[in-house]
Amino acid sequence: MIAMHTKKLLQFTFTLILGISLYNANAQTKVYPGHWWTGMQWNKVQLMLHEANIGQYANAKVDYAGVSLAGVTTAQSPNYLFVNLDISPAAAAGVMQIQLTGNGKTKTISYELKPRRKGNGTAFAQGVRSEDFVYLIMPDRFANGDPSNDKLAGYKDQVCDKNDPNMRHGGDIQGVTQHLDYLQGLGVTSVWMCPVMENDMPVQQEAAGPISGYHGYWITNHYEVDKRHGGNAAYKQLVEAAHSRGMKIIQDGVYNHVGNEHFLFRDQPFADMFNNWPAYTPSNHREESLFSPYSNSADKKVMLDGWFVQHLPDLNLANPFMANFMIQNVLWCTEEFGIDGWRIDTYKYCYEPFLNNVNDALLADFPQLTIFGEAWSKTVAGSAYFARNNMDVAFKHNCPGVTDFPMQAGMLSAINQNYSWEGGANKLMMNLSEDFLYKNPLDNCIFLDNHDMDRFVTMVGGNMQKYKMGIGLLMTLRGIPQLYYGTELFMQNDQVNGDGKKRNDFPGGFADKGKPGDRTMAMLNDQQRETFQYTQKLAQFRKISKALQVGNTITFLPKDGVFTYLRQHGNESVLVILNQSDKAQSFATGMLKPYGAMTSARNIISQQTTPLGNEITLPPQSITILSLQ
């Protein structure tokens, strides 16, 4: 009895000593995800533990009501251990202790289960739909809300230089938060920021010269917002500030690649976590190799597994550990930050079954969330392939929407290209006609420009009439309209090699003193005021127009450069007439007869109401937007 007692006491003392030393050791163990929640549909959570030689602990034990251990997996690298937890709906919030043993040693990991946000994924994660108006921001280039975070010790890139288009300029999330008044005043309902997660990468050499990770697409830590963008705290603050105004936040995610300074690449758990090639192999960027009935497997492999650029290792999303890491990360970000939608970068380059799995997981836990993938394709069929569609194809994607590049090309053609049988407004009509391929074309994000192309105003040569035609189309065509920051202020870009100048500084965002958001309106010149007010008028009208948000679209075949469409919902009708020709034309209103007895028209821009005569006169190069009664 005494011996037994002594043994227990010794054991207890040993555990106590070990416990103290383990407390410190625990602090060094990186656990991904850092915490989880009770009541999630994703309740089989795979913890990735990262620490030197953690692989020696091949056994684990969890003693926590409602949580059972579903196995431990060692990796090829000794520095990883995967612990699979099964969290039953009965598990309560709290901190569990995961006891690891192996190699004669013991180690304890504390792991927290938090209660979910109010509404279990329904009171937030509202989804961004065609009722919304999205504003796309590159945070580094929008507004510098906190000059103290422009350059931070410890990061591998130490250049902040507003005169260099390819280096950091110091913009941050605080700058976005300070502009919420301005954005809401414009009529914006949702903000999409280029990725805000950590990009701790040294300056890289690209075709255009040295470039830093200012744009956010070189993620090195999926759980930390870059501190130069304000860190996790500033991000949470922005989401809360936006939600308190009824505005939404879209997060930009990247599944295809990471920055080559990412810990998963520097210290790879398994040799096949990345798509490694004997020699550097870039993607062929030909999405046709995925859906062509005549494609070959080698082309498809290069498309999917080839690297985007040399410093962006391509993720093998067919590896279940990599897939779990990424799926759990987007679930974690959605619940942790409370965001409303996802835009997924380089969508067409990712292993296809993974994409469907991650979307299913997101929608299971956040049923109203929306997702649109960047599927840069020139054709409607190619674009529709990456969304829910009505096509008989070998692989069926389940993404609700895509960033609609064919629509962008169609709108630009209708404004900028000579009218012809298949050019100009006919190109827009033709692209729209193929909407039958999409399950729900309203879920597509439509845009005139974004951070990867020349600015819209530059594309139309700074022409005010063309500007109005473009904004008019954007705000009245089907889909979720997205404006690239600064387009409302007639921003253009210089023609230089590389993308830096397409991401120039937002006017007023980088002044030396004061709060940026307050100054913007006072700074405008006449031209900027005109474009701001034009965009604002349409955005504010769109906010109350169900016809523009979710209405049917009825198109009338283009004639002599005139393209007309009607948006209808219930009793509401909005008529849009684009005249791309350089002469005045007219539209015969008799064509509207089958769509209701409408007798008067209110011009949304001039606010004037006139009787609806037999003809509507259309000035050269114009768009006419009428609310019909």
So which residues are the catalytic ones?
345, 374
Helices (H) then strands (E): counts for the chain: 18, 28
Question: Token pair of 189, please?
Answer: 């309902």
> Least distance in Å: CB of 246 to Ca ion?
27
Cβ-proximal residues to 301 (8 Å cutoff; 6+ apart), any chain: none
Compare residues 96 and 355 and give the one whose CB is closer to Ca ion: 355
Question: Token pair of 384, please?
Answer: 């529709």
Compare residues 172 and 200 and give the one whose CB is closer to Ca ion: 172
- CA nearest neighbour of 457 among 417, 410, 493: 493
CA distance 137 to 174: 13
- C-alpha distances (whole Å) from 291 to each of 286, 299, 300 are 10, 11, 9
> Least distance in Å: CB of 162 to Ca ion?
11
Instruction: Specify the residue for token string 């309106």.
Output: 521
The answer to whether 427 touches 416, Cβ cutoff 8 Å, is: no
The alpha carbons of the chain give a radius of gyration, in whole angstroms, of 27
The answer to whether 258 touches 218, Cβ cutoff 8 Å, is: yes
DSSP assignment letter at 435: G
- CA nearest neighbour of 363 among 12, 42, 18: 42
The answer to whether 374 touches 389, Cβ cutoff 8 Å, is: no
Compare residues 218 and 349 and give the one whose CB is closer to Ca ion: 349
> Least distance in Å: CB of 170 to Ca ion?
4
User: DSSP readout, 326-368?
Assistant: HHHHHHHHHHHH---EEEEETGGGS-HHHHHHHHHHHHHH-TT
> Least distance in Å: CB of 289 to Ca ion?
12
Give the CB-side neighbour count of residue 376, counting CA atoms within 13 A. 9
- C-alpha distances (whole Å) from 196 to each of 175, 221, 520 are 13, 10, 24
Instruction: Specify the residue for token string 């006919």.
Output: 426
Instruction: Specify the residue for token string 């609609």.
Output: 404
The answer to whether 76 touches 57, Cβ cutoff 8 Å, is: no
Compare residues 114 and 162 and give the one whose CB is closer to Ca ion: 162
> Least distance in Å: CB of 35 to Ca ion?
28
The alpha carbon of 454 is separated from its chain's Cα centroid by a whole number of angstroms, namely 19
Positive or negative: CA dihedral 290, 292, 293, 296: negative
> Least distance in Å: CB of 368 to Ca ion?
29
CA distance 137 to 173: 10
Compare residues 256 and 260 and give the one whose CB is closer to Ca ion: 256
Instruction: Report residue 452: phi and psi, to 5°.
Output: -105, 10
59-62 vs 190-193, strand pairing mode: unpaired
The answer to whether 577 touches 618, Cβ cutoff 8 Å, is: yes
Instruction: Specify the residue for token string 């007439």.
Output: 577
> Least distance in Å: CB of 98 to Ca ion?
33
Compare residues 132 and 146 and give the one whose CB is closer to Ca ion: 146
Compare residues 287 and 314 and give the one whose CB is closer to Ca ion: 314
The answer to whether 85 touches 70, Cβ cutoff 8 Å, is: yes
> Least distance in Å: CB of 305 to Ca ion?
6
Compare residues 94 and 147 and give the one whose CB is closer to Ca ion: 147
Compare residues 144 and 450 and give the one whose CB is closer to Ca ion: 144
CA distance 603 to 580: 19
> Least distance in Å: CB of 142 to Ca ion?
11
> Least distance in Å: CB of 140 to Ca ion?
8
DSSP assignment letter at 105: E
CA distance 250 to 127: 9
Question: Token pair of 356, please?
Answer: 């469907």
600-603 vs 67-74, strand pairing mode: unpaired
Compare residues 75 and 258 and give the one whose CB is closer to Ca ion: 258
- CA nearest neighbour of 36 among 92, 82, 79, 74: 92
Question: Token pair of 611, please?
Answer: 């009787």
* Cα three-residue angle 523-525-527, rounded to 5 degrees: 140
> Least distance in Å: CB of 560 to Ca ion?
46
> Least distance in Å: CB of 174 to Ca ion?
7
Compare residues 170 and 561 and give the one whose CB is closer to Ca ion: 170
Coil, strand, or helix at residue 586?
strand
Compare residues 135 and 274 and give the one whose CB is closer to Ca ion: 274
Binding site for Ca ion (CB under 5 A): 144, 146, 149-150, 170, 172, 256, 314, 349
